[in-house]
Amino acid sequence: MANELEELVKYSRLLGSDKNLVLHGGGNTSVKVLERDHTGKEIMILRVKGSGSDLSVIEKSGFTGLRLDDMLAAKNITEMSDTEMMSYLRKSCIDPSEPSPSVESFLHAFINRKFVIHSHSDSILSITNTEFSREYIESILPGVIVVPYIPPGFTLAKKILDKVDKMGDATIGIVLSRHGLFTFSDSAEEAYSNHLSIVAKAEKFIQEKAGNKLFNEVYEPADSFEQFLPNIRGLLSRNNKKVLLADTSKEAREIACSKEAELFEKSGPATPDMLIRTKFNYLYIDNPENIERKIVAFAAEYKKEYEEYVKGFPMHDPYPSAIIARGYGIISAGKNQKESQIIMDQIKHSIYVNAKSSRISSHKFISRKEAYAMEYWPLEEAKLKKKGKLLEGTISVVTGAANGIGLETLRVLSSNGSIVAAMDLDKNLERVCKEVSEQTGTPSMPFIIDLGNENEISAAFKAIIRKYGGVDIVFNNAGILKSEPIDDISIETLDLHYRINGRAPFIVSREAFLIMKKQGIGGNIIFNITKNLTHPGPGMASYGSSKAFAAQICHYFAKEGGKFGIRANIINPDKIFKGSKIWENGVLESRAKAKGQTVEEYKTQNLLRKEVLPEHVANMVMAMVNDEIFGATTDCMVPVDGGIL
């Protein structure tokens, strides 16, 4: 069993590494092997790719075991709903702790060969997504049986059961129209080789009929959409926050400048499997002036079709998940960066498939009714009910993010699903962001910049827009502290404090404010000020005054941002020592000495007699951006100081 399963792993990875065959965990493979069950009895087991597994990196543990006798017994069952099918599959598992088996498990079981390989080959789809007859496709691909489109599941397996039972050795593959290709053999190598052979024949046919030029580039390249990415993100995020991905590569520009991109807007994706993410239509925008009108019209049309074709399920987000902007490129929108990337890859592959289909024949996809049945497939609906992280889809900016309060806030926001643009002068920031991203599973974007430089801040925000489409949260945390008596303060020291503690948070907040207004979906700006604002102490005039300026600025962002749903609030921490650089170089010791205290006494000089930690402040930031907690609060100051004595 081990060797056969290892063979399956080997060829599954080869299949999964070819993006023209398998995209983002699609496709599936299987092997029928002899194993011992929990009683020690040897039985035949179907090992099939488990739900959530990625063929390109799959391990042996990614294949779920099903009792083959149980699976073959289903040949005598006339029909089975999707819910009944999944119940049957779970009861047939030899180990309940293994991943849920593929919905195509019955098809794998019914094919009477040891190894089965299935992909959603672009070339196969390019031929089946046409008006070609079954007989003609079989003549193009000798040794293949062609089956009309049937949604995946038990019904599909039953429909081809008769064909499978009667096929001879000359049959090496089954083409499921508008779905993909199955190949099989008692040898893993041969099943894989057959797969590549059939795909190669399809590619040769397409090449001969379509030629090399798929797109007619009739429009000039244009960057005019770039400045409107926040507007687009805001419109697409009216129901749920979205992360944008804008592709302006040579490939994307070629598509965006083509007549085909305009023509294929309502042609449908490459395969129905993609409908759950891409919807039937993408949105084509010819001019930035039409952005809002077209997005609103798309949502209205989707709602109308939903009401016509769907019963019993709540409506999905009606806004487009993919946009082609004429001359600019392709824009995808998902609940997180990974989802946006999957949608981007799927829409590009769909356009290539549609282009090839249109070149070799007349393109033809499934009906709208069938498409909505697939998009609202009950098995996928169950997955959609799972709640994501609280801040999924949001983009945050945290300054001074390399250590102390900033680092903890980066970690907390990232843990809750927010993509964080981290800003700091510290060159360790890249390492910090990488570590946090690995810990939380949410990407972070490091910006090693001088926050005293307006041009560097402005360039960073342009990069954030270009990368993700906008900003939702800002935490102005970076600061500098130099303690000295008022009569020793130089103009240079005064200017330094103002430059970092006062002017920088103003510039950062102003840049974010402009973006938030364009988005039209609100926002949060939080200022880390200091207890010194309300309880000034000696030796802190330069530091405290610069922080007071920032606090006053916060009030104005609250006053002017309220009508846009933009909240601005202040956190007043006191004596946060852990990981903080502003207390280094003897500052902590000198402040303790000035108070006539030991360092430990100084750290816990509050009503609670406990040290205030960066985590306390980071968690307060998290609370402030949670609309269910602070959603009706703006222009507010919250102390995180243990209580002032």
Structural domains counted in the chain:
3
State the pLDDT at residue 19. 92
**Buried-state track 596-617, b at ≥16 Cβ within 10 A, e below 16:** eeeeeebbebbeeeebbbbebb
For residues 238 and 266, state if they share a domain: yes
In a domain, residue 189? The reply is yes
CB 362 within 8 A of CB 130: yes
In a domain, residue 589? The reply is no
Question: In degrees, to the nearest 5, what angle opens at C-alpha 53 toward C-alphas 180 and 445?
Answer: 110
CB 478 within 8 A of CB 400: yes
Judged against a pLDDT cut of 90, whether residue 599 lies above it is answered with no
Q: Which of 452, 266, 515, 447 is nearest to 368 (CA)?
A: 266
Judged against a pLDDT cut of 70, whether residue 438 lies above it is answered with yes
Q: Compute the distance between CA of residue 164 and CA of residue 77 in angstroms, rounded to an integer.
A: 17
For residues 201 and 234, state if they share a domain: no
DSSP letter for each residue of 37-88: -TTS-EEEEEEEEBTT--TTT--GGGEEEEEHHHHHHGGG-----HHHHHHH
In a domain, residue 577? The reply is yes
Domain boundary among 384, 409, 442: 384
CB 516 within 8 A of CB 472: yes
Contacts with 433 (C-beta within 8 Å, 6 or more apart), sequence order: 401, 410, 420, 422, 444, 445, 446
The helix/strand/coil state of 358 is helix
The helix/strand/coil state of 156 is helix
The single residue listed with the structure tokens 């402005």 is 458
Q: Which of 237, 222, 223 is nearest to 470 (CA)?
A: 237
Backbone torsion region of residue 469, taken as left when φ is above 0, otherwise alpha when ψ lies between -120 and 50, otherwise beta: left
Q: Residue 52 — very low, low, confident or very high, per pLDDT cuts 50/70/90?
A: confident
CA separation, residue 122 to residues 40, 127, 195, 272, 351 (Å): 44, 9, 13, 13, 10
Contacts with 315 (C-beta within 8 Å, 6 or more apart), sequence order: 303, 306
For residues 550 and 621, state if they share a domain: yes
Q: Which long-range contacts (CB under 8 A, 24 or more apart) does 46-51 make?
A: 46/71, 46/105, 46/108, 46/109, 47/5, 47/8, 48/101, 48/102, 48/104, 48/105, 48/108, 49/12, 49/101, 49/102, 50/98, 50/99, 50/100, 50/101, 50/102, 51/99, 51/100, 51/101, 51/102
In a domain, residue 154? The reply is yes
Better pLDDT: 164 or 552? 552
In a domain, residue 595? The reply is no
For residues 311 and 414, state if they share a domain: no
Domain boundary among 384, 411, 430: 384
Give helix 2-16 / helix 188-210 axis angle, nearest 10°.
Answer: 20
In a domain, residue 182? The reply is yes
What average pLDDT does the structure give for the chain? 94
Q: What is the CATH number of the domain that holds 89?
A: 3.40.225.10
For residues 201 and 300, state if they share a domain: no
State the pLDDT at residue 644. 87
State the pLDDT at residue 38. 85
pLDDT (tens digit per residue) in 197-248:
999 999 999 999 998 889 999 999 998 899 999 999 999 999 999 999 999 9
Domain boundary among 364, 384, 404: 384
Amino acid found at 138: E
Judged against a pLDDT cut of 70, whether residue 63 lies above it is answered with yes
Q: Compute the distance between CA of residue 446 and CA of residue 8 in angstroms, rounded to an integer.
A: 40
Q: Compute the distance between CA of residue 562 and CA of residue 515 in angstroms, rounded to an integer.
A: 15
What percent of the chain has a predicted confidence (pLDDT) above 90? 83
pLDDT (tens digit per residue) in 550-592:
999 999 999 999 999 999 999 999 988 888 777 777 878 887 8
State the pLDDT at residue 2. 58
Which residues lie across from 396 on neighbouring strands? 420, 473
Which regions of 363-450 does DSSP assign to beta strands (E)? 395-399, 419-424, 444-448
Q: Which long-range contacts (CB under 8 A, 24 or more apart) does 618-623 make?
A: 618/405, 618/408, 618/409, 618/411, 618/412, 619/412, 620/571, 621/409, 621/412, 621/413, 621/475, 621/526, 621/571, 622/412, 622/413, 622/416
For residues 435 and 297, state if they share a domain: no
Which residues lie across from 525 on neighbouring strands? 474, 568
DSSP letter for each residue of 306-340: HHHH--SSPPPP-S-SEEEETTTEEEEEESSHHHH
The tokens for 549 are: 């300026």
State the pLDDT at residue 634. 98
Better pLDDT: 556 or 379? 556
CB 338 within 8 A of CB 277: no
The helix/strand/coil state of 557 is helix
The helix/strand/coil state of 363 is strand
Judged against a pLDDT cut of 80, whether residue 1 lies above it is answered with no
CB 422 within 8 A of CB 410: yes
3-state secondary structure 255-291: HHCEHHHHHHHHCCCCCHHHHHHHCCCCEEECCHHHH
Which residues lie across from 182 on neighbouring strands? 118, 174
State the pLDDT at residue 125. 97
Global confidence as pTM: 0.93
Segments forming the whole domain that contains residue 530: 395-582+613-638
Burial class of 628 by CB neighbour count within 10 A (0 to 12, 13 to 18, 19+):
exposed
For residues 270 and 190, state if they share a domain: no
pLDDT (tens digit per residue) in 454-487:
999 999 999 999 999 999 999 999 999 888 899 9
For residues 495 and 372, state if they share a domain: no
Which residues lie across from 325 on neighbouring strands? 285, 329
Query: Span 423-429, mean pLDDT?
Result: 96
pLDDT (tens digit per residue) in 346-371:
999 999 999 999 999 999 999 999 99
For residues 483 and 552, state if they share a domain: yes
Q: Which of 181, 317, 330, 155 is nearest to 254 (CA)?
A: 330
For residues 125 and 153, state if they share a domain: yes
Strands 283-285 and 28-36: unpaired
In a domain, residue 591? The reply is no
Query: Span 67-82, mean pLDDT?
Result: 94
Question: In degrees, to the nearest 5, what angle opens at C-alpha 29 toward C-alphas 27 and 31?
Answer: 170
Q: Compute the distance between CA of residue 390 and CA of residue 413 in angstroms, rounded to an integer.
A: 9
Q: Compute the distance between CA of residue 46 and CA of residue 24 in angstroms, rounded to an integer.
A: 23
CB 399 within 8 A of CB 409: no
Q: Residue 91 — very low, low, confident or very high, per pLDDT cuts 50/70/90?
A: very high
For residues 150 and 271, state if they share a domain: no
Q: What is the CATH number of the domain that holds 503?
A: 3.40.50.720
Q: Compute the distance between CA of residue 438 and CA of residue 460 in angstroms, rounded to an integer.
A: 23
Q: Compute the distance between CA of residue 73 and CA of residue 85 in angstroms, rounded to an integer.
A: 13
Q: Which of 89-103, 147-161, 476-490, 546-560 has the highest mean pLDDT?
A: 546-560
Q: Residue 260 — very low, low, confident or very high, per pLDDT cuts 50/70/90?
A: very high
Question: In degrees, to the nearest 5, what angle opens at C-alpha 362 toward C-alphas 358 and 366?
Answer: 100
State the pLDDT at residue 589. 84
For residues 301 and 372, state if they share a domain: yes
The helix/strand/coil state of 180 is strand
Q: Compute the distance between CA of residue 203 and CA of residue 97 in angstroms, rounded to an integer.
A: 41
In a domain, residue 592? The reply is no
